[in-house]
Structure 1
Amino acid sequence: MEHRIALSRSIAAPPSAVWRVLTDIDDAARTLNGVTGIERLDATGYEVGTRWRETRVMFGKSAAEEMRVAEVEPERRTIVTAESGGTTYRTVFELAPRADGTELSVEFSGATDSPGLFTRIMTPVFGPLAMRATSKALQCDLDDIATAAERTTL
């Protein structure tokens, strides 16, 4: 069982500025309004294997997930993964240069290999609500990244 969300946002800043904001884990709680806390689980930097715990408020509850960088192509693409409750989450960010800045795209997916009976029953009921909330959170993240990247190029 897999679900996907794909969004994009034009940003009036070069890919280098967008990349700096996107990969600045230590400032994520200040940059992204939806993130309430960041706890690094390894050294500084941003490379394959980098891990951190990210706390967000979803549906009125605070939830922390361990995130891991799975792929890095500087200023072009990065993939971040997380696992929770038997579901693997994958977030792909892609940066495309444009004449007026950068197109930042995000594709979020969640896959459960062997969903139990409860999950199979409840997904049709609550799945659309969760997808809308996740889509809204991702759009807010794109907007926050744009604001921060555009501010650094003024």
Structure 2
Amino acid sequence: MELSVFVEIKKPIEDVWKAIIDFKNCSNYIESIVKLEIIDEPKDTLIGFKWKETRVMFGKEAVETMWITDYAENEYYQTRAESHGSIYKSRISIEHVGENTKLTMSFTAEAQTFFVKVFSKCMGFMIKGSMKKALIKDLNDIKTHLESK
């Protein structure tokens, strides 16, 4: 499964970057994140930054361990998580749109086990729609947080 969503935020790119890498405080403005526990915080880089995130997904709390695999400051960061028979990759990117900033989140889920591959074929369209709504909600939470300052 692959999907991508975006919002335009009426703030400079540097402000948006600070918000999307503010892992210690993001549960204060992204409603679905219940708790975030930092596991590893490398010095001078985001690569290898690792955290455990508890969030509400499909009406239930879910815990995932994620880490940053790549980034370019004020441009993007990419994360990876492995659970439930799948590999999940997300990319959060920002770019100038006039005086505003376009914030994009791309998500891929790669099934690794036979059961998950079959389940994905049967139910993937329903899961994709729900995931898209969840990603848009997260981006709109960030937008609201930044534009209310």
Deviation at 1:8, TM superposition (A): 1.1
Other-structure match for 2:64: 65
Deviation at 1:37, TM superposition (A): 0.8
Tell me which moved more, 123-132 or 23-32: 123-132
Q: Distance in 1 between matches of 2:30 and 2:73?
A: 21
Other-structure match for 1:141: 138
1:7 aligned to 2:8? no
Q: TM-score, normalised by structure 1?
A: 0.88
Tell me which moved more, 56-65 or 4-13: 56-65
Tell me which moved more, 70-79 or 120-129: 120-129
Q: Deviations over 1:45-93 (max 9, x none)?
A: 7610000001111222211000101112111111011111221111111
1:86 aligned to 2:96? no
Identify which of 124, 128, 135 aligns with 2:121.
Answer: 124
Q: TM-score, normalised by structure 2?
A: 0.91
The unaligned stretches of length 5 or more in structure 2 are: none
Counterpart secondary structure, 2:146: helix
Other-structure match for 2:94: 95
Say how many residue pairs are matched: 148
1:39 aligned to 2:37? yes
Q: Distance in 1 between matches of 2:3 and 2:23?
A: 22
Deviation at 1:44, TM superposition (A): 7.7
Other-structure match for 2:75: 76
2:85–2:116 Cα contact (<8 Å) kept: no
Q: Distance in 1 between matches of 2:69 and 2:75?
A: 14
Deviation at 1:14, TM superposition (A): 0.6
Other-structure match for 1:19: 17
Tell me which moved more, 142-151 or 43-52: 43-52
User: Deviation above 6 Å: which 4+ runs of structure 1?
Assistant: none
The unaligned stretches of length 5 or more in structure 1 are: none
